[in-house]
Each structure stands twice: as structure tokens, then as C-alpha cells.
């Protein structure tokens, strides 16, 4: 069992390297076309065995190869941090239109935030990798958000960790209000960017 799981994690690791190269290519191509790079930075990760096990347990499944492939869609995680709100949608469209990527699921938490106030754009994708003269399709989750959204999400993660199972209502309310403030800030920064672009012209 351990050998099988280590083998599939090796495949995920390989797929992540390919996906990083493909996304980097898309961004560079965009930059050449528009003379502008919409991405501040990119974060990547592979879920650990402990994290995979915990997620499967929460869903009511045991750790095995079949359950990982069937129920865990974010073993590979990529987070793309953009400067402006419009950049988020530009990157989403780049990924959705890339011929080597199949979008399985998308969730626009920018238009429909989570109850906590969390905002981001999520894509679950499948991508082909070539191994031992065969093609396998590996899933990954791509999150695209602004710098402001990422700041809020990082703070929210720390709060979740600090309070574990119970977060006081007062803290929840304040975090939600901050999420609204950040969304308004993103909109204002977008308008400022449009103004700067206009003056450049």
C-alpha cells in the first residue's frame, strides 16, 4: 500500500512540474502580447499523506489508492496571486482556453463569497501526463486571487488554526467585515489602474 501511494504521489509531483511550466508559458505569452505581467507570484504544493488521510477521514473514507484518485481533487495545489481583479479573470480565461487543460469544475467565490467572506476563483482541472508509453489524466486545483484576497485568506487560515473547532462570533463578524472592505479595496484599485492606463494612452 505504501509503495502504491508513494508512486501516485510521485506522479502528482511530476504533473505539478509540468503544470508549473505550462502556466509560466501562458503568463509569459500574455506578457509579450500585452506588455504587462498580471501575476505577482505563484505558490504551489503537494498535499502530504497526513493531509490526504485527514481529508479522506472527514469524508468517511479510508486511505487507499482508489479513494485518493476518486475523492481528493486537490492533491496538487497552485495559487496564482494577481495585482488586480481584472487580472484574475484574464488568468482564468487563459487557463480555461489552454488546449492541454480540461476544466472539471469551477467556483467563482468572488461573485459568490463563502459565508466567512472568503473570495477567490477556484478551478479543478485535469491535465495529461505521459508515463511509460501511456497517457494519464491527473487532477489539480488552481486558485486565482488578488493580493488583497490572499492577505485576507492568510489571516483567516491563522484564525482557523488558533481557534481550532470554535471561532467566536465576534471574530467571525469582524473577519466578514474585513472581507467586504477588501473587496471594496480591490474595486477601487481596479478603477485606479484603469485611470493610470488611460493616462498612459
Is 141 an annotated catalytic residue? yes
Residue-wise DSSP of 4-15 = HHHHHHHHHHHH
| CA distance linking residue 86 with residue 99, whole number of Å | 22
Which set of grid coordinates corresponds to residue 61? 473514507
Task: Compute the distance between CA of residue 15 and CA of residue 76 in angstroms, rounded to an integer.
Answer: 8
C-alpha cell at 23: 502556466
Tell me which residue of 182, 167, 165, 142 sits closest to 45, measured CA to CA.
142
Angle among Cα 25, 26, 28 to the nearest 5 degrees reads 65
* Spatial strand order in the sheet of 76-82: 39-46, 76-82, 134-146, 121-131, 102-108
Name the catalytic one among 17, 22, 105, 141.
141
- Cβ(80)–Cβ(91) below 8 Å: yes
Please state, in angstroms and rounded to a whole number, the distance separating the CA atoms of residues 198 and 201. 5
Q: Which residues are catalytic?
A: 141
Amino acid at each position: 500500500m505504501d509503495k502504491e501511494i508513494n508512486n501516485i504521489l510521485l506522479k502528482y509531483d511530476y504533473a505539478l512540474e509540468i503544470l508549473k511550466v505550462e502556466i509560466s508559458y501562458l503568463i509569459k505569452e500574455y506578457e509579450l502580447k500585452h506588455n504587462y505581467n498580471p501575476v505577482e507570484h505563484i505558490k504551489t504544493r503537494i498535499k502530504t499523506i497526513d493531509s490526504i488521510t485527514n481529508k479522506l477521514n472527514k469524508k468517511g473514507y479510508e486511505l487507499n489508492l482508489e479513494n485518493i484518485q476518486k475523492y481528493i481533487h486537490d492533491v496538487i495545489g497552485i495559487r496564482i496571486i494577481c495585482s488586480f481583479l481584472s487580472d484574475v479573470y484574464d488568468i482564468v480565461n487563459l487557463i480555461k482556453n489552454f488546449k492541454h487543460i480540461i476544466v472539471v469544475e469551477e467556483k467563482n467565490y468572488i461573485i459568490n463569497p463563502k459565508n466567512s467572506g472568503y473570495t477567490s476563483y477556484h478551478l479543478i482541472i485535469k491535465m495529461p501526463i505521459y508515463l511509460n508509453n501511456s497517457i494519464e489524466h491527473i487532477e489539480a486545483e488552481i486558485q486565482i486571487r488578488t493580493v488583497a484576497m490572499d492577505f485576507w485568506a492568510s489571516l483567516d487560515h491563522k484564525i482557523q488554526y488558533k481557534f481550532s473547532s470554535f471561532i467566536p462570533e465576534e471574530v467571525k463578524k469582524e473577519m466578514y467585515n474585513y472581507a467586504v472592505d477588501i473587496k471594496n479595496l480591490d474595486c477601487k484599485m481596479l478603477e485606479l489602474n484603469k485611470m493610470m492606463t488611460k493616462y498612459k494612452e
